[in-house]
Amino acid sequence: MGRKPRVLIVDDEQDFANTLAERLALRDFDTEVKKDGEGALAAVENNPPDVVVLDIRMPGIGGFEVLRRIKSAHPRVQVILLTGHGSTGDGIKGMELGAFDYLIKPVDIKDLMKKIRAAIESSRFSPKEQGKS
Region of 116 (left: φ > 0; alpha: ψ -120 to 50; beta: rest) is alpha
What is residue 130's predicted lDDT score, i.e. its pLDDT?
A: 39
Place 124 in a pLDDT band, splitting at 50, 70 and 90.
confident
Burial 33-51 (b: 16+ CB within 10 A, else e): bbbbbebbbebbeeeebbb
What is residue 83's predicted lDDT score, i.e. its pLDDT?
A: 85
What number is the average pLDDT over the span 5-31?
Answer: 95
Domain ranges of the chain: 6-107
Give the three-state DSSP class for 14.
Answer: helix
Prediction pTM value: 0.90
What number is the average pLDDT over the span 15-27?
Answer: 94
Considering the chain, what is the average pLDDT of its residues?
Answer: 89
What is residue 129's predicted lDDT score, i.e. its pLDDT?
A: 41
Q: What is the DSSP letter of 58?
A: -
How confident is the model over 23-47, as pLDDT tens digits?
999 999 999 999 999 999 999 999 9
pLDDT surpassing 70 at residue 119:
yes
Fold of 6-107: Rossmann fold (3.40.50)
Place 125 in a pLDDT band, splitting at 50, 70 and 90.
low
What is residue 86's predicted lDDT score, i.e. its pLDDT?
A: 62
pLDDT surpassing 50 at residue 133:
no
How confident is the model over 59-73, as pLDDT tens digits?
899 999 999 999 999
